Structure 1
Amino acid sequence: LLEDIVKKGDVVLLVTPIDSSAPKGRMILPQVQMTREVLDRDCVCCTVKETELEYVLKDKGIKPDLVITDSQVFDFVNRTIPADIPLTSFSVLLARLKGNFEAYLKGTPYLDKLKDGDKVLMLESCTHQPTCEDIGRVKLPNWIRKYTGRDLSFEAVSGLDRIKTPLTEYAMVIQCGGCVATAKQIRSRLLPALENNIPVSNYGLCIAYIHGIFSRAVDVFK
């Protein structure tokens, strides 16, 4: 996950909002995986809610070497932390690890080409119970509609369920981070779309693009 990004002794700050979609009494899998990854690389791991971010940076004077945020607060975190601190998200890091990252980078700007009536397929690897604040079914579709100003329809497919609608009917396919899936499963899931020249992206990359922080979110890999 963090290969070639951090070195021993680096301070890594994880920003983990807790809203109604968060499971009670535990962290979600990407946060757990990232915490272990940071510790395994002999780095210092700090975890905060987005509401405590400014306090940690200014009052406590902590300047992390890397900030990793939940994508849904990407915009807020980007505006809060200094520009010289590297920033990315859990979803973007998972996209690099498990997805066809180059295809994601190429496909994400297609958001600017979506037209009225286009249908977008949202692929979720897990089968969690959706809530009113669900990122893939509510928040991200609404952000995309607002960003594009287009009348778009979104269809979500969970787990490894068969995609019933012919892929050629979709203008774009957007995959979640895939924390519960293997890299092979994610890549196999996206292959038919790529074979049909349908642009593909990832939740985190789309959110970064919409909020104008796409370049910053992927600069950590350069």
Structure 2
Amino acid sequence: MKGKDLKPHIGIFGRRNFGKSSLINALTGLDVAIVSDIAGTTTDPVKKSMEIFGIGPAILIDTAGIDDQGDLGEKRIAKTLDVIKQIDCAILVIANNTFDEYEESLIQKFDRHKVSYLIVNNKTDMEPLQNNTIRKIQQKTTASIVEFSSVTRANLDGLIEALKGTIPETSYQNPSLLKGLINRGDIVMLITPVDSEAPDGRMILPQVMAIRDVLDNDAINVVVKETEAELFLQKTDIKPRLVMTDSQAFGFVSKIIPDEIPLTGFSIAYARMRGPFNEYVQGTRKISQLKDGDKILILESCTHQVSCEDIGRFKIPRWLKAYTKKQLEFDIVAGLNEIKTPITDYALVIQCGGCMVTRKQIFSRLFDAIEAGVPVSNYGLTIAYMNGIFERAIAPFANTL
């Protein structure tokens, strides 16, 4: 997963030969998608980065036709539908006054996954929407309907304005890790361990975001390794307004930071900003109820080289077994790969920090578990719970629960 994938994702859906690829070319002003009169030219979903005025950088995803046919066509449709779980917004392309079960099925899936969408009548230069088609659409949805032509690019400004009004602001607004927690002049201590999993010469995204967030709030950063934190407190006699640390250092750091100083973790603050935080908190408390034979699903949203110190594949399973003293089973699913085992087979789902995926992708990833009542947690909250400082680590966010 590349950094550019953190941009808002906009999926383009519709039947074959209705002009989905042409619409992307019109939006970007470039011939970035293959256009052909032959239906089914687009096979696998294709991503293209672009800038949308008023929204900023975004990822457009061109998908195969929802009416594809044959065994291969069914596989293409499956990949198209899987895109719905990954996007922040959708454009449903129609043409020729055609709107029936294919379009209605897509709308149902958009609604189920809480994806905002608009409907674009492409090829309006050839056949504008008829009143009976408009009435049929309005019986199924209240989504905006935009007349557009990929050939003449008529009403391109209207399409972009409709898109800006459809895509959720939360998908492109600048997020804040520490909103409501600190004020101007507050001193924030950021304890950042450097271990074998830390990026060489760099810091992980939540740490970098925390540093910037402190600056944006006109507060003061104090950044130290865990081995120097106690020395700093002793030498300066400074009492930070807030201390944040890496979740793997919770056990050590909680012993050297006085109880009266609020303490939390980078991944916990990140989970509050990017994930279903209330569900995480409730689900984490279920750890104490795990039983012999329970299956745990670990979701790693990025793919990376695995080492013996890998937190999701080795450390958390080992720590959970030791903490619960139960014989637990673990499944690992990396990236955005399909979860093939029924979600109800799991007693707990633990999501990674999700720093390399979008907010929508995290919510979609956990949607089935939450809907089925399966407890969910994330790495930082799970580790805080096992270190006995769970309540302390979530206390700074008590007013959001």
Q: TM-score category by the smaller chain?
A: over 0.9
Unaligned runs of 5+ residues in structure 1 are none
Q: 2:352 aligns with which of 153, 160, 176?
A: 176
Structure 2 distance, partners of 1:80, 1:65, is 15
Q: 1:166 aligns with which of 342, 350, 362?
A: 342
Structure 1 distance, partners of 2:349, 2:260, is 32
Three-state SS of the structure 2 residue aligned to 1:72 is helix
- The residue aligned with 1:13 is 189
Q: Which amino acid aligns with 2:314?
A: V
**Mapping 1:19-168, distance limit 5 Å:** 19-168=195-344
Structure 2 distance, partners of 1:133, 1:48, is 22
Deviation at 1:112, TM superposition (A): 0.9
Q: Which amino acid aligns with 1:166?
A: P
Deviation at 1:206, TM superposition (A): 0.9
Q: Which amino acid aligns with 1:58?
A: Q
Q: Which amino acid aligns with 1:38?
A: V
Three-state SS of the structure 2 residue aligned to 1:45 is strand
Structure 2 distance, partners of 1:15, 1:196, is 37
1:115-173 residue CA offsets vs partner (Å, 9 max, x unmatched): 11111011112112222111111211111111100011212211111112221221110
Three-state SS of the structure 2 residue aligned to 1:18 is coil
Q: Does 1:195 align with 2:371?
A: yes
Deviation at 1:59, TM superposition (A): 2.0
- The residue aligned with 2:361 is 185
Please give the TM-score of this superposition, normalised by the length of structure 1.
0.96
Q: 2:394 aligns with which of 215, 218, 221?
A: 218
Structure 2 distance, partners of 1:37, 1:181, is 19
Moved over 6 A (4+): none
Structure 1 distance, partners of 2:306, 2:269, is 23
Structure 2 distance, partners of 1:14, 1:100, is 24
Three-state SS of the structure 2 residue aligned to 1:24 is coil
- Larger Rg computed on CA atoms: 2
State, as a whole percentage, how many aligned pairs show the same letter. 58
Please give the TM-score of this superposition, normalised by the length of structure 2.
0.54
Aligned residues: 222
Please provide the CA RMSD for this pair. Answer: 1.1
Contact 1:16 1:50 in 2 (8 A): yes
The farther-off stretch of 190-199 and 175-184 is 175-184
Q: Which amino acid aligns with 1:151?
A: Q
Contact 1:20 1:131 in 2 (8 A): no
Structure 2 distance, partners of 1:154, 1:148, is 14
Structure 2 distance, partners of 1:191, 1:52, is 41
